[in-house]
Amino acid sequence: MPKSRDVRDYIRTIVDFPHEGIMFRDVTTLFADARGFRMAIDQMLHPYAGERIDKVVGLEARGFILGGAIAHQLSVGFVPIRKKGKLPGATISQEYTLEYGQAIMEIHDDAIQPGEVILLVDDLLATGGTAAAGIKLVERLGGKIISCAFVIDLPDIGGRKVLEGMGMDVHALCAYEGD
């Protein structure tokens, strides 16, 4: 009997990308495989069975792919959070810290209504900076985040602790230690 596959089996590791010493976890191979992609979406949805979710928020850019598929499965709306200057309408902005400097994320100022229940989605949780910025944007619009869902957690980098410190529930399908 063949071994059942795990989501990690679909994720490619690229050594020394984007620079030396980094083990890059590439989810594009997961997305390219129909069974792997469906498995990931189903597993990301599982913890929220029976929960009210009004909208799914995806973080640029791979969070759009996951978030769109999850929103479709839930029959709810999808809201993108993008890098500064990419959204065409009126926005609100949130600055956050990157490894080397600062960046700004934005959301349309009418994308979420006060009291809406939100699931925040991205592919990877590392430092938690991008997700924390997304959380702040959603909360500024009055949304209530039910949870933050990721395919991959890099626990040694500390992002889960950052988000949990903000009072967030965090779920990840797999973790890679030491990255």
What residues are labeled active site?
Answer: 62, 99
Element (H, E) at 164: helix 159-165
The structure tokens listed for 65 are: 């792919």
The candidate with the shortest Cα–Cα distance to 104, out of 150, 66, 137, 128, is 137
Specify the residue for token string 């997304």: 134
Specify the residue for token string 């984007």: 18
Element (H, E) at 31: helix 28-32
**Chain Cα centroid distance, residue 14:** 20
